[in-house]
Structure 1
Amino acid sequence: MELPKPRASTAMPMARLLLLCLATSSVLEVVAQSNLGRFISIDCGLPGQTGYVDNRSTLSYATDAAFIDANAGSNHNISVQSGTPTLPKSLYSVRSFPDGARNCHTIGSLESGLKYLIRGDFLYGNYDGLNRLPVFDLYLGVNLWTTVNISNPYGAVYAEAIVVVPDDSVQVCLMNTGSGTPFINGLDLRPLKNKLYPLANETQALVLLHRLNLGPTDTSITISYPDDPYDRIWTPYVDATQQWGEISTDVEVPYNADNFEAPSAVMQTAITTQNVSDSIELTLDLGSFPADLLLGYIQVLHFAELKKLPSNSLRQFYIYRNGALQLSGLENAYTPGYLWNGDFYSGSPFQSSSSDYILTLNATPKSTMPPIINAIEIFSVISTALVGTDLNDVSAITEIKGDYQVSKNWMGDPCIPTSVVWVGLTCSYAVSTPPIITSINMSFSALDGLLSSSFANLRNVQYLNLSNNNLIGSIPDALSQLPSLTLLDLSNNKLNGSIPPGFLKRIQDGSLDLRYGNNPNLCTNSRACQPAQVRSKRAIIIVAIVVVITVIVMLVAVLLFCVLRRNKKALKLKNERTTSTSTANVIYGDSSLRLENRRFTYNELDIITTNFQQVLGKGGFGYVYHGILEDGVQVAVKLRSHSSNQGVKEFIAEAQILTRIHHKNLVNMIGYCKDAEYMALVYEYMPEGNLREHIAGKDLNGGCLTWRQRLRIALESAQGLEYLHNGCNPPLIHRDVKTTNILLNTQLEAKIADFGLSKAFSVNNDAYVSTNTLVGTPGYVDPEYQATMQPSTKSNVYSFGVVLLELITGKPAILHDPEPIGIIRWAQQRLARGDIEGVVDSRMGGDYDVNSVWKTAEIALKCTEQASLQRPSMTDLVVQLRECLELGEDRTGIDTNNKPAYTGVSSGANPYMGYKSYTTTWQSNDVSQTKTALDVEHSLRRMPSMDDGPAAR
């Protein structure tokens, strides 16, 4: 706190006083006029585009149409009941927001770094006829301002903050908290001198709790503009007990270039006690403001002596706050100056253990006059240090919103708060830097027109999905220069032109996956895209080349004929080997990829596998054998067993699927065999076997997968599944995702295998496919699929969540503990207690980043939510697992890009404390398999799932 300067109690010469009063009046008028031109007054809910001038204040009011999205909220009027005091005109109209979690007004044309008073006006007035008093939150940008609690339908509520704006605009957002429909009547913004209210700065704002004018002669008048050039609202304080006397003067009380500049109209009145021995005691409520939001309170007390005291008189008093003496120094007391606008305020925020603020003024023993006070202001201090999304990303996505007139609830900051991230966006959060936009999904968003140039300004975006819209024109080469972009989906649009060179280069080096199928006018053949004149010249050259080649071919044919006649025995042996080339054109990304699948005879498979000697494994289809082709390439041969319950249908399904898909994280098919009753598929060989073997401890040297290897395997598996969901046409649902169907090569790179149970689905059917059979493996089957017989992409997500839990824990999908229990329930029980060490595979010896493990566990449990709508998409999983991998790069907390480690929620290291669950009954189905321990568990137990999920990050 600050000790006030000594105030002179002697009278000023009258001439000097008159001159000072005239000067003050002139200054007030100049200040008021200069501020008026920068005032912003908004009547929210006023219909039309035309504003008005308020007769009372002479201030100009504008409609809020230019400050908010056209489709946001609805306009209403208030019908004032008889007997209600006359209201300012701006309070008669209301804009309410029944839709959307967050709705915002954006006020622009501000000066960055300057201090402003921002005020929201709220009067319910039963505008909707429901007589339901709402409670909702109010935000300044990304920082929570206050909670608006309407307790009286015809009582006006004002929310005021003094804040330094960081940019040239500010957003005032209303957040629906589920306790009624948010609404607003008016918004006022007033510029302040930067020296005023010094505790309001770049990192904290002041939220008004009380601003009282004490001792007014007319208690029905509220002082504001033009009496206060900053349009602060000074509420008259009425002494219901009539224990205080009132002092007033008609002479101006000028402010003396201080930190608050209380207006003369306020300082011309004061309250005092009848006797010098009596105390002034004011009790004001602090409890109306949420205690967990504030950094403390500040008090501003305004004093001025209004009487010319005799030379032998003294007005001097002590100031107490909740019983604690406030002044320090020789006298520990305050003496107001005659017609001198003085103040006493907190030099730093103070805390209060009580919900009340009690101010006590006691005369000192020397004082011959009782204490006085003219006005008081009480503020709570809130933090404004929370940083919004990266400004470049905000600018780009806002321009994109405007270019396409996005009708989604895209309001406020794109990434903060995390509970209202813009629909279709995924953001990345770090401790010391602003959030960035890493993924945008605007598929099926009715976008039309050209590709916005603003997409090229999203420097941090990794995944951009603009598929299934009506985009026209060419693909801008500038998009290929986005440094972080790894996937761009432009399929199912109306684009034309050719693939730009920048994209071709990135596709060639493997840094970008471009998807552009079903753009009929898009030229993808480099030769066909050339001008006709160039094509005609090349045609002549090609014809000449063909003639030469034809002659050479004929000569070679004659030579071969002669050789073959001399080698009839060899020719007969070669004729036994029937080779058939099945060619499939698979459009993946930018290239047309030809897959030539060799057809083997059963005798060839017998030779390749050395009489089916080495067994690699066994599945529902049959045994898998190791083989070596003529050129030394190792393969895996999956031979259908005659006793297998998977027959010709599954064989054809897997063969057809593998013929038309190609991805680095999907097992590649080399060929097939359909020789009489023998059926087999020939794959690339994965020497490290399946993931289940490694989790169970296949390594004979006693080693195990590191945490980084586990995360890498999870990410690569997710990439393969994401390709099945979004990169195939039609998309595919695997239906049997499990650790035994994830294979590893010598570099431990993961590839998804076994597509015999996969199903295609239509993207126009919400990614569901109807079936009449339940397939899959116990422990991995989606309970929603089990109940509805409709598998979806989220069924794969559920199974993948089980895989993640296996990678974290090192345990199988079904445990015996000692009774059968699913890994989901087993992990939930321990995570709910914060027992991360009891969940993580102990064989890793603590060699992992705990933040990365927590985040991965959270992802796994979200994947295994009972309701599929609450599960993330596989595209989201790829993004989130990349972030987990970054966290796990360096156990010291800094990865290779010097990014801070994920720290979880601010309240502690365990984001699952307070985690709830509910139970749901599993149906008893055999999942197309022989009954196992899981069936026993299903009949004895109920499986839990998350209610409201782990704490937000």
Structure 2
Amino acid sequence: MSWLLLLCLVAAGILQAPAQPNPAGFISIDCGLPGETGYVNNITTLSYTTDASFIDAYAGSNHNISTKYMTSTLPNNWWYTLRSFPSGARNCYTLGLLMPGLKYLIRAKFLYGNYDGLDRLPISFDLYVGVDFWMRVNIQVSGRWVLAEAIVMVSRDSLQVCLVNTGGGVPFISALDLRPLRNKIYPQANMTHGLVLVNRINFGPYDGSAAIRYPDDPFDRMWFPASGGATAYWDEISTEMKVEIGDDQFQPPQAVMQTAITPKNFSSNIEFTMDLQGSPSYWSLGYIEMMYFSELKSLPNNTLRQYTIYRNGEETTTAYTPPYLDDGYTYSAEPFHARQYLLSINATANSTMPPIINALELFSIIPTTTLGTNSQDVSAIMTIKERYQVQKNWMGDPCVPDTMVWDGLTCIYASSKPPIISNVNVSFSGLNYTISPDFANLTDVRHLDLSNNNLIGSIPDTLSQLPSLIFLDLSNNKLSGSIPFGLLKKVQDGSLDLRYGNNPDLCSNGNTCHPTEGDNKLAIHIVVPVVVIVALVLVAILCFWLQRKRKEGSIRNPVKVTNDGDWIISLPLENRQFTYMELEVITNNFQRPLGRGGFGYVFHGSLEKGTEVAVKLRSHS
């Protein structure tokens, strides 16, 4: 039996109807379903919705499988549609409103069905859950569906399921499910390890249904009927009596525990073989198994059902007696390593009855310790992506894995710490509207290139608060207003290379706005001295004019002297004019800001005789 559960299914009905609320936390997605209306599966009563709100609008394309494969053997309509991803190395579904620290079952389903008319097989691609490798999907037969299921504990309030093109064909997906679990079940799944389903089998009478799942299983696990040649050697037993399901580590559904198998020959054993050669990823981390047992017959006092369990010839459980109408189980205390799984359940010498088994689960273990990008950076860059509808390969985690970093980003990786975003280059990206304040939340960014877009409005002052920013390119946009004083200060002290050319309505250093001339990449540390010289000339002209006015009479009002930054000094004590250099001396190079009002920054200053003054920078709109 293949680990991928390549099973041909029997017919089951589907009721098209308006979607109904699912149990809390359930997400059921029919990938590739057109329109916005979902439907209710009348077998599970679960609502399926389209995938439009879970993936970027431009990602992938919808398809129907070939009519040749639209047969009664398909149990649900969601097998008829799929979404393929011919473009991009990685395409992701985002599942939100999750509870951090909770375990979830994630299930993806795939049916090729020759949707593209090429009938080109095999097809293979990789699945990631969050930033961790989940498994490689291998499609071998057009009309057989493939199931991928994992149990993971989430650390954030959202989770991404990503399909990665590895060169083995175009990735696609038919359906995607997410189910919350109780944290006490499957203790082997935690923050450092996840479980990938290899097989889940319900031993017992086959009633024609594809699998036991919700509502019989409140967690919507899919328990598949046993198949294969070995079934000819089994007797199937069942009961309609209630089997007590304890509040234990696995909580199998009662419908599963009400059926079992036992050898036809009382002297025989139960043997079951599974090839693990093609099992999921990270087989080197090992496998774990859970076996479920319940005695379904009331045995006389002088009758004993007792058996020993062997895995690949190694004894794992000794002299086990299943509890009557109660859920019993055994499981792997430690992972085991194998390329083939051989299960033997042998009656002990004291047993008067052959062994039984109700159900079995087998999982491989995957590590889930990969650190994703810093959460603040993720939140900021995702908001930026949504604001500007960036249509690059911005899918999945921005920095992880390092082979799939988003276009235009550079990340810094440190051991035991989440990666951080250090460079953002979104030039020529068609960005519209104003500069998002979320750029200022990328607190470790060093280089920020927003050039050659259609950005409008003023430059946010918050950009000057980025502690690591050393390069900012705003050239070739439609920005207006004044360059924030904080950015000018960084340019003046040499810590920032600021480029802002070809923004006709942008005011540089407080001067009257006019079109910028020269090279679009002219650095502001070249412009500032020129503006200062012009300002000094204006001061000289003003001094000349005031000198002439003195001849006409005494000046009674305070003098306001402006230059490059529209600096104003209020001096009711004497009538004097000041050059820009004198203002720098008076304010100690503008070292002590007193505050900021509606007209700009105010700085403390002292005249030669110790007179304290306030120097104000007037802002221009």
Assess if the C-alpha contact under 8 Å between 2:282 and 2:365 holds in 1: no
1:294–1:383 contact (8 Å) kept in structure 2: no
1:234 counterpart = 2:220? no
Residues in 1 aligned to 2:336 and 2:496: alpha-carbon distance in whole angstroms: 56
- Aligned 1:136-285 pairs, distance under 5 A: 136-218=125-207, 220-241=209-230, 242-285=232-275
Equivalence for 2:397 = 413
Aligned residue for 2:10? none
* 1:173 to 1:320, Cα distance in 2 relative to 1, 3 A: same
CA contact (8 A) 2:135 2:281 kept: no
How far is 1:218 from its partner?
A: 2.5
Residue 541 of structure 1 and its aligned partner are, at CA, apart by 6.7
Distance change in 2, residues 1:548/1:168 (3 Å): closer
Residues 529, 517 of structure 1: alpha-carbon distance in 2 compared, 3 angstrom cutoff: closer
Measure, in 2, the Cα distance between the counterparts of 1:477 and 1:256.
Answer: 60
8 Å contact kept, 1:217–1:248: no
Summarize the Cα distance change of 1:348–1:219 in structure 2 as closer, same or farther, 3 Å threshold: farther
Identical amino acids, percent of aligned pairs: 59
- Whether 1:338 aligns to 2:324 is yes
2:56 aligns to what?
Answer: 69
1:28-107 correspondence runs (5 A): 36-81=23-68, 85-107=73-95
Distance 1:442 1:34 in 2: 41
Q: Are the structure 2 counterparts of residues 156 and 503 from structure 1 closer, same or farther at C-alpha, using a change threshold of 3 Å?
A: same
The Cα of 1:518 is off from its aligned counterpart by: 1.4
- Take 1:539 and 1:255, find their aligned partners in 2: how far apart are those partners? 91
Distance 1:378 1:545 in 2: 90
CA distance in 2 between counterparts of 1:538 and 1:514 reads 24
Partner of residue 96, structure 2: 108
1 or 2, which has the higher strand percentage? 2
Name the CA shift for 1:422/1:528 in 2 (closer, same or farther; >3 Å).
same
Opposite residue 190 of structure 2, the aligned amino acid is N
CA contact (8 A) 1:199 1:348 kept: no
1:376 aligns with 2:360: yes
Q: Retained in 1: the 8 A contact 2:280–2:364?
A: no
Within 2, Cα distance between the matches of 1:419 and 1:238?
41
User: Equivalent residue of 1:159, what SS?
Assistant: strand
TM value normalised by structure 2: 0.79
Return the index of the structure with the highest Cα Rg.
Answer: 1
User: Is the 8 Å Cα contact of residues 284 and 337 (structure 2) preserved in structure 1?
Assistant: no
The question of 1:325 aligning with 2:312 is answered no
Q: Distance in 1 between matches of 2:370 and 2:331?
A: 27
The answer on whether the counterparts of 1:446 and 1:469 sit within 8 Å (CA) in structure 2 is: yes
Tell me by how many angstroms 1:280 deviates.
0.9
Asked if the contact 1:35/1:229 (under 8 Å) is kept, the reply is no
Q: Secondary structure at the match of 1:435?
A: strand
| Structure 1 residue runs without a partner (length 5+) | 1-32, 531-536, 551-589, 592-953
SS of residue paired to 2:288:
strand
2:14 aligns to what? none
Cα separation, 2, equivalents of 1:540 and 1:299:
86
Q: Determine if the alignment matches structure 1 residue 543 to structure 2 residue 529.
A: no
Please name the residue that 2:520 is paired with.
Answer: none
Q: CA-to-partner distance for each residue in 1:244-303, whole Å, 9 max, x for gaps?
A: 222211212221112111111111111111334311110012222245465211000000
Unmatched tracts of structure 2, length 5 or more: 1-19, 515-534, 549-563, 566-621
Q: Is the 8 A contact 1:135 1:149 kept in 2?
A: yes
Provide the secondary structure at the position in 2 that maps to 1:403: helix
- In the alignment, the residues of structure 2 paired with residue 239 and residue 306 of structure 1 have an alpha-carbon distance, to the nearest angstrom, of 24
Whichever residue aligns with residue 285 of structure 2, its letter is L
- Code of the residue aligned with 1:229 in structure 2: it is P
| Partners of 1:548 and 1:94 in 2: CA distance | 81
- Are residues 1:444 and 2:444 paired? no
Residue 853 of structure 1 aligns with which residue? none
Write the distance in 2 (CA, Å) between the matches of 1:184 and 1:381. 23
Q: Which residue of 1 aligns with 2:113?
A: 125
Q: Which SS does the other structure have where 1:454 is aligned? A: helix
Name the counterpart of 2:480: 496
Instruction: Please state how far the C-alpha of 1:527 moved relative to its aligned partner.
Output: 4.1
> What are the within-5 Å matches in structure 2 for residues 507-906 of structure 1?
507-528=491-512, 542-546=540-544
Is 1:435 the counterpart of 2:424? The answer is no
- Tell me, in whole angstroms, the C-alpha distance in 2 between the residues paired with 1:291 and 1:170: 20
C-alpha separation between the residues in 2 aligned to 1:238 and 1:289?
18
Task: Give the superposition deviation at 1:448.
Answer: 1.5
SS of aligned partner of 2:214:
coil
Code of the residue aligned with 1:423 in structure 2: it is D
**2:288 corresponds to which of 298, 304, 307:** 298
- Which SS does the other structure have where 2:439 is aligned? helix
Structure 2 counterpart of 1:275, one-letter code: N
SS at match of 2:106: strand
Aligned partners of 1:131, 1:350: CA distance in 2, in Å? Answer: 38
Deviations 1:338-365 (A, max 9, x none): 111111001222222xx21111011111
Q: Is the 2:60–2:86 contact (alpha carbons within 8 Å) kept by the matching residues of 1?
A: yes
Give the AA of the match of 1:69. D
| DSSP-derived class of the 1:265 partner | helix
Shift of 1:547: 6.2
State the SS of the aligned residue for 1:448.
coil
Partner of 1:351: 337
Q: TM-score, normalised by structure 1?
A: 0.52
Rounded Cα–Cα distance in structure 1 between residues aligned with 2:511 and 2:348: 99
Q: CA deviation at 1:220?
A: 4.8
Structure 2 CA distance for partners of 1:527 and 1:445, relative to 1, 3 Å = closer
1:419 and 1:46 mapped to 2: Cα distance? 32
TM-fit CA distance, 1:538: 11
What's the CA shift for 1:145? 0.5
**In structure 2, what is the Cα distance between the partners aligned to 1:348 and 1:230?**
25
Task: Report if the CA contact (8 A) 1:219-1:238 is conserved.
Answer: no
**Structure 2: distance between partners of 1:109 and 1:390:** 19
Task: Find the residue that maps to 2:326 and give its secondary structure.
Answer: coil
Residue identity opposite 2:254 in structure 1: S
AA aligned opposite 1:78: I
Q: Please give the alpha-carbon distance, in whole angstroms, between the structure 1 residues aligned to 2:23 and 2:205.
A: 26
CA contact (8 A) 2:241 2:258 kept: yes
Residue of structure 2 in register with 1:365 after alignment: 349
Alignment pair present for 1:480 and 2:487: no
In the aligned structure 2, how far is the partner of 1:174 from the partner of 1:443? 28
Give the structure 2 partner of residue 928 of structure 1. none
- What is the CA–CA distance in structure 2 between the aligned matches of 1:405 and 1:63, rounded to whole Å? 21
